[in-house]
Chains A and B, each alone.
Chain A
Amino acid sequence: MLGLAHNDSFSHGIHPPEMKDETSHLSIRRFPFAPLLIVPLSQHLGKPAVPVVRAGQEIVRGQVIAEADGFVSVNMHAPASGIVKKIALAPGIGGNMLESVYIEPYPASSQEVQDGEPCDLDTASADDIIGAIQRAGIVGLGGAAFPTHVKLKPPEGKRLDTLIINGVECEPYLTTDHRVMLEQTADIFNGIRYLLKATGAAESLIAIEGNKSDAARKLHDECPSDLPVSIRVCPVKYPQGAEKMVIRSLLKREIPSGGLPADVGAICVNVATTAEIGRLLPRGHGIQERVITIGGPGVKRKGNYRIPVGTTVRFALEEAGAAKDISRVFLGGPMMGPSVSNLDIPITKGTSGITAFTTVQINEATGHQKIYPCIHCARCVEACPLFLNPSQLGILAKNEEYDRMVEDYHLMDCFECGACSYVCPSHIPLVQYFRLSKKMIRKLGAAQ
C-alpha cells in the first residue's frame, strides 16, 4: 500500500473469520418504506426525546417529531412523510416496552426531505456546530449510539489534540462503514472539517483495517490537501475498532482505566457518523435513515442498505429475503450484537446491521456448546485486549463475589467485546456473566 501509513496494533485480541466478502462489494441501496414505521423516543444513551406530534397528525419526512430533553439527548426526525398513528408502547431491543411514535408513511408521497436551518462551516463557531449536531439528532453510528455532540465538548481542563475517525469496522459480517468510506468519501472529509472545528483538534487520523484497502486507497487519494488528515491502516484483528484499541494502536496512548478518550487528548468518531455530519449539517437535515448491512447465512439478498429509522426487523428481513427457518437474529455483528426476541422491534440509529442465522447455521458457528468447568487454559487471558483475567472473573461471577471482581480484577473495565467467550474451549458464557455481574453491582451500588 504505497503512501499509506501502516500501523502496528494493540496486544492480544482475536481473529474471528471476517465474513465480509459477500457484502463488501455491494454498493449501498435504498430500502423501501415499510407500511408502518415505529420510532422509539429513546434511541440512544441519555434522556429520551419529548414528542412534539400528536396521534393523527400529518408529518413530513425530516420534520422534528421529538425534541431533545436536556444536554445528553438529541432530536428525533420523521423518517417518512405520513401520518402519526399513535404514540404508544412498542417493543425495544432489550425486550422492554418503549414509548414510540407509530408512523404510517403515505405510499404515494415523493418523500422529499424537509430542509432545516443549515450550519455553515465557515461562519459557525464551535458551539454552533455542536448545537447543530444535537439538533440534527446525530448519535454515534458505530454502535454505542452515544450523542455525538456530548463527546465533542471535552470535560473542563482537557484539551483535544487528535481527532480519530474510526473506520475499522472489526465486527465480522458488517460492511457499512466500508461502503460509506467508498461511497461517501467527500462527506467524510466535510464531516472532518466540522469536527476539527468543533473540537479544536489539530489533526485527524483515519483508522482503517487492512482488509479494506480499497477504501483506504480511495480516502488517501481523494483527501483534500489542505486537510490535516492521515490514513492509518491497522492489522486485521478484533476488537481493533474499540475506541481504546484504536487510540492505543494509532497514538500509543492508553485511555486510563475508567477514563475517557479526552483524558489522553483524543476523540474517536465513527466514519459513518462523520459522513452523516458532513452530509446533513450543510443542509440542516436530521438523521432519519442510516446505512446497515443485512447479512448472515440466513439471508438471501445480503447487502448494504440505506434504511429508514423505524423500519421493523421483520420488514427488513422480508425485503432481504430471509430464510424461512431463521432462528437467531441479532442487531450488529456476531461478536457484540444483541439478539432479538421479537422481529417487530424497529431499527434505530444505533443499529449497524442485521445478521440472521438458521438453527443449523448457528449451531455450526458456536460449535458444540457443552459447558465445561474452566480449565485455566489462559486462552481468555491471552485474548482479552484489556489484559483482564476473564478466567478468574468468570469463577468469581459464578460465586457471586462481585466485590472482588471489581476491586481485585477490574470488572468495570471490561467492554464486553466477547473475545474471551469466543476463545474459551469450555464455552463458559463469560460475557454474559460479566454483564450480569455489572448489573448486580450497579444494583447493589444503587441500593446503598
Chain B
Amino acid sequence: MSIAVLTLAALSFLFASLLVLAHRKLHVDEDPRIDAAHQMLPGTNCGACGFPGCLGLAEAMVSGSALPGKCTVMNEDEREDVAQFLGVDAGAEEKVVARLACAGGTNVARNRARYEGLESCRAATLVAGGGKACFWGCLGLGDCEVVCDLDAIYMDDHNLPVVIEDACTACGDCVDACPKDLFSLHPVSHHLWVACKNLEKGDAVLADCEVACDACGKCAVDAPAGVISMVDNLPVIDYSRNHNVRKAIERCPTGAIVWFEKDKGPVAGRAAPKVIRQRSRQSSPT
C-alpha cells in the first residue's frame, strides 16, 4: 500500500517537475487577454464552437472574429461576463434607422415587364433593370427583408419594404443589400424625407409612378432658403441646416416628399393624391 502511494507520489513529483520546468523554460509570451479569455471559457474543449478547443475560441474572440455566443457550454450570464471582459460596448447615441427612398408600391407604380428568374432584387436588377417602369424604384422582391437579421423589415401589401424603427439597429445590411441603393441610415430626427429617386421630370414620370417626384420644385420654394435644393430633378435636403420644416411637404403634388412621424411612418402633404389602396398596377400597363 505504501509502495502504491509512494509510486504515485513519485510519478506526480516527476510530472510536476516537468511542468514547472516547462513553465519556466518554455514559456512563450502571448496576448494575455487570450489567456484570460481562455480562462473564462468553460475549458470543456468540446469543439462545439467550431474552433479547436476553448483556446481557439478565446483567440478568435480576442482578435474579434468571434463572439462569446459561439460557446454552447456557457450560460447567458457567463457569456455576458466574457463579453464585458472583452469590452464590446455601444455608447448611447441618437437612434439611427434605415430609411427607404421610394414609395412606389405595386398600387401606384407600374411594371413595364414581367420578370422571370431568381426571386431576388439583386438578380432581377441584372435583367434589364428588373422590369419596373421606374428604373430607380423598388423592385419589391424583398432582398432587404431577407437580409435583415433582426426582422426589422417587412414587405407591405404592395410589396414595398417597411422598416420597424424600434427593431432597426442601423446595422446597414439593407443598405448594402438593395441593388437600387434605396436605403440609407438616418437619425430618427430627420423627419423630412424624399421618398423618390427618379431623375426624370414632368408628367412622363407620373405615367410610371403616381407618387414619383416630378421635379416641380414647390418643396424647395416652401422651405427656408438652402434647406432644400433641386439637384438632377430631385429635391435634396441639407440636414446640416434646420430641417424641421413640415411645411415643405404640404404643396407636393405627388407626395414624394414626406414627413416621418413617430409611430405613423411617412405622412404625405395635403396636396398629395389619395393613393388608391386596393388596385394593383402590376398587370395594367398603360
A97, B136: Cα distance in complex, Å: 9
Mark contacts of B110-152 with chain A using CB atoms, 8 A cut-off: 1 yes-contact digit, 0 otherwise: 0011001110101101111111100100000000000000000
Indicate if the CB atoms of B200 and A436 lie closer than 8 Å.
Answer: no
A340, B132: Cα distance in complex, Å: 12
A432, B123: Cα distance in complex, Å: 7
Looking at the complex, which one of A94, A95, A97 makes contact with B200 (CB distance below 8 Å)?
A: A97
Looking at the complex, which one of B113, B118, B129, B199 makes contact with A436 (CB distance below 8 Å)?
A: B118
**Of residues A338, A339, A440, which shows the largest number of chain B Cβ atoms within 10 Å of its Cβ?**
A339
The smallest beta-carbon distance between B18 and chain A, in angstroms, is: 44
Indicate if the CB atoms of A96 and B123 lie closer than 8 Å.
Answer: no
Looking at the complex, which one of A97, A338, A432 makes contact with B117 (CB distance below 8 Å)?
A: A432
Mark contacts of A94-114 with chain B using CB atoms, 8 A cut-off: 1 yes-contact digit, 0 otherwise: 111100000000000000000
Indicate if the CB atoms of A436 and B126 lie closer than 8 Å.
Answer: yes
The smallest beta-carbon distance between B117 and chain A, in angstroms, is: 5
Contacts of A433 in B (CB 8 A): 118, 123
Indicate if the CB atoms of A439 and B118 lie closer than 8 Å.
Answer: no
- Known contacts: A429-B118, A436-B120. The answer to whether A339 contacts B135 by CB under 8 A is no
- Known contacts: A341-B113, A429-B117. The answer to whether A439 contacts B122 by CB under 8 A is yes
A339, B130: Cα distance in complex, Å: 11
Indicate if the CB atoms of A436 and B122 lie closer than 8 Å.
Answer: yes
Indicate if the CB atoms of A432 and B128 lie closer than 8 Å.
Answer: no
Indicate if the CB atoms of A432 and B135 lie closer than 8 Å.
Answer: no
Question: Which residue of the partner chain B has the closest CB to A366?
Answer: B116
Indicate if the CB atoms of B129 and A341 lie closer than 8 Å.
Answer: yes
A55 on the interface (CB 8 Å rule)?
A: no
Indicate if the CB atoms of B199 and A97 lie closer than 8 Å.
Answer: yes
Indicate if the CB atoms of A439 and B128 lie closer than 8 Å.
Answer: no
Q: Total contacts A to B, CB within 8 angstroms?
A: 56
Indicate if the CB atoms of A95 and B199 lie closer than 8 Å.
Answer: no
The smallest beta-carbon distance between B211 and chain A, in angstroms, is: 19
Indicate if the CB atoms of A342 and B199 lie closer than 8 Å.
Answer: no
Indicate if the CB atoms of A340 and B128 lie closer than 8 Å.
Answer: yes
A440, B176: Cα distance in complex, Å: 10
A343, B248: Cα distance in complex, Å: 38
The smallest beta-carbon distance between B224 and chain A, in angstroms, is: 31
A175, B42: Cα distance in complex, Å: 72
Contacts of B131 in A (CB 8 A): 95, 341
- Known contacts: A89-B200, A432-B118. The answer to whether A339 contacts B128 by CB under 8 A is yes
Indicate if the CB atoms of A338 and B122 lie closer than 8 Å.
Answer: no
The smallest beta-carbon distance between A52 and chain B, in angstroms, is: 23
Looking at the complex, which one of A95, A435, A436, A440 makes contact with B128 (CB distance below 8 Å)?
A: A95
A93 on the interface (CB 8 Å rule)?
A: yes
Interface positions of A from 331 to 356, Cβ below 8 Å from B: 338-342
A27, B97: Cα distance in complex, Å: 62
A429, B119: Cα distance in complex, Å: 11
Mark contacts of B175-187 with chain A using CB atoms, 8 A cut-off: 1 yes-contact digit, 0 otherwise: 0100000000000
A91 on the interface (CB 8 Å rule)?
A: yes
Contacts of A91 in B (CB 8 A): 135
A89, B215: Cα distance in complex, Å: 15
Contacts of A440 in B (CB 8 A): 122
Mark contacts of B193-232 with chain A using CB atoms, 8 A cut-off: 1 yes-contact digit, 0 otherwise: 0000001100000000000000000000000000000000
Interface positions of B from 2 to 45, Cβ below 8 Å from A: none
Contacts of B132 in A (CB 8 A): 95
Indicate if the CB atoms of B135 and A96 lie closer than 8 Å.
Answer: yes
Contacts of A341 in B (CB 8 A): 112-113, 127-131
Contacts of A429 in B (CB 8 A): 117-118, 123
Indicate if the CB atoms of B199 and A338 lie closer than 8 Å.
Answer: no
Interface positions of A from 308 to 331, Cβ below 8 Å from B: none
Q: Which 5 A-B pairs have the closest CB atoms?
A: A95-B129, A341-B113, A341-B128, A95-B128, A436-B123
Give 22 pairs: A residue, B residue, CB < 8 Å, sorted on A: A89-B199, A94-B128, A94-B129, A95-B125, A95-B128, A95-B131, A95-B132, A95-B135, A338-B128, A339-B127, A340-B113, A341-B113, A341-B131, A342-B113, A342-B128, A429-B117, A429-B123, A435-B123, A436-B120, A436-B122, A436-B123, A436-B126
